[in-house]
Amino acid sequence: MKRSPLAALMVAVIACSGLAGCGSSNAGSKTTCGDFVKMSAKEQKEVMRSYLEEKGESNPSNGKVALVRLSAKAFCATAGSDSSTIGEIDGNK
């Protein structure tokens, strides 16, 4: 059976678009400041919870999540740019 290059391209595009939509709003430390500042408070808290879990905290308290969220908001409003990631709030790139 001969396969069409167009069909293969369409399958690749569909597969990539499906992957791109999943979990993009909750990427933890890889979330950019540009995306973070556009999120609702609830979404920001979810991102910060993921960020803390990436750093080894399996069940961060709501207070810690709130504190780190404020740190991220301050970072994005001052030293960070739209392309800076949330993971940079602790000085790591």
Q: Is there a domain that residue 40 lies in? A: yes
Q: Is there a domain that residue 20 lies in? A: no
- Cα separations (Å) of 77 from 71, 80, 85? 10, 7, 12
Q: pLDDT at position 3, please?
A: 53
pLDDT tier at 88, thresholds 50, 70, 90: very high
Q: What is the mean pLDDT of residues 70-82?
A: 96
Q: pLDDT at position 62, please?
A: 96
Note the pLDDT tens digit of each residue in 18-71: 333 344 456 899 999 999 999 999 999 999 999 999 999 999 999 999 999 999
Count up the domains in the chain and report the number: 1
Q: Is there a domain that residue 1 lies in? A: no
Dmax (CA) of the chain = 60
Q: What's the predicted TM-score (pTM) here?
A: 0.70
Q: Is there a domain that residue 44 lies in? A: yes
Query: Residue 56 is part of which domain span?
Result: 25-90
